[in-house]
Amino acid sequence: MPAAPEKVVLHPLVLLSVVDHYNRVAKDTKKRVVGVLLGELYKGQVDVTNSFALPFEEDDHDPSIWFLDHSYLEQMYKMFKKVNAREKIVGWYSTGPKLREADLDINELIRQFCDNPVLVICEVQPKEVGLPFTAYYSVDEVRTDGTEKAKKVFNSLPTEVGQTEAEEIGVEHLLRDVKDATLSSLAGDVSSKLLALKGLQSRLAEISEYLGLVLEGRLPVNHDIVNLVQEIFNLLPNMNVESLSKALAVKSNDMMHVIYVASLVRSILALHKLIDNKEQRLWAEKETAERKDKEAKKKESKEAAEKDKKEAADKEGKEAGKEGEKKEAEKKDGKK
């Protein structure tokens, strides 16, 4: 019998296929869509690389009434095997957004094609920060007090997004159109930190809510979850230790010192640039004034030369007129 899955790695193509399936079939409705996940199981890691949709219907009033076309599933799986024999059925997906009563029965149907199927619930309209999908697999739960018989329940699995080199290039091209190019890298870093803190806050609120329900007796104690919560608290640093507080303070002061020095350097460079700009402006104004003076002197000299030329011409004209009058007078005297 193959080992139980320990982690689910989902590829971007599967997420795009699930969203496309939902938009074509159940957009703007309360219905969900169901499909089959294809991939490989190796050393407990389920690598989901492909998927295909299934005809699925369920009664809105009675969740126990549902229909899934398993004959269509068999035919589609045969055709997929002809294309890529390495991809096998590893589970199924649902758009949830949460687990439903019929999921265990559907999981048993998928078990006919896979020994340990995983269920991946993809939230096509996520409202919280984080990965928009969760993974589960069914196990037999036996109550320690023996009051109930063994029954199937879903256990959660750690999930992550993985991609091949070709898929990574394709996702980068898609994100290039989505990403706002006007935002600087610093603004992007701050926004990502803010999203991460919001995600952490939602997870802490979820843990607090669960522990409160357990204390009230509304939920049974799950020792695996309690152990994980205890491990989280054990990994937290003890801030009451003086050496740790001092080390954090020293590191914080070092970082602030670097930021302060960088701010000083930036201010000095800005002041130096301001002085350079002022000096360049003064030189430009001086060159402009000198150029205007040269042009004015050149214009004045040109006007003076034209004036002298005109006066000389007028003087020559007057002298020529006097000579003409003198000759006329001499002619008249000779006639007499």
Give the pLDDT band (50/70/90) at residue 174.
Answer: low
Q: What is the pLDDT of residues 27-36, one digit of tens each?
A: 888 889 999 9
pLDDT at residue number 29 = 86
pLDDT of 253 above 60? yes
**3-class DSSP assignment, residue 241:** coil
Between CA 72 and CA 94 the distance in angstroms is 17
Cα dihedral: 128, 132, 137, 140 (round 10): 10
Q: Which residues contact 96 (CB under 8 A, 6 or more apart)?
A: 32, 121, 122, 123
Q: Which residues contact 22 (CB under 8 A, 6 or more apart)?
A: 33, 95, 124
Q: What is the pLDDT of residues 46-69, one digit of tens each?
A: 999 999 999 999 888 887 889 999
**3-class DSSP assignment, residue 118:** strand
Q: What is the pLDDT of residues 198-234, one digit of tens each?
A: 888 888 898 899 999 999 988 888 888 889 889 988 8
Taking domain 7-179, whether its CATH number is 3.40.140.10 is answered by yes
pLDDT at residue number 149 = 67
Between CA 58 and CA 101 the distance in angstroms is 11
pTM above 0.85, yes or no: no
pLDDT at residue number 171 = 67
Q: What is the mean pLDDT of the chain?
A: 84
pLDDT at residue number 147 = 59
Between CA 21 and CA 25 the distance in angstroms is 6
Domain spans in the chain, listed from the N-terminal domain onward:
7-179, 182-236, 244-336
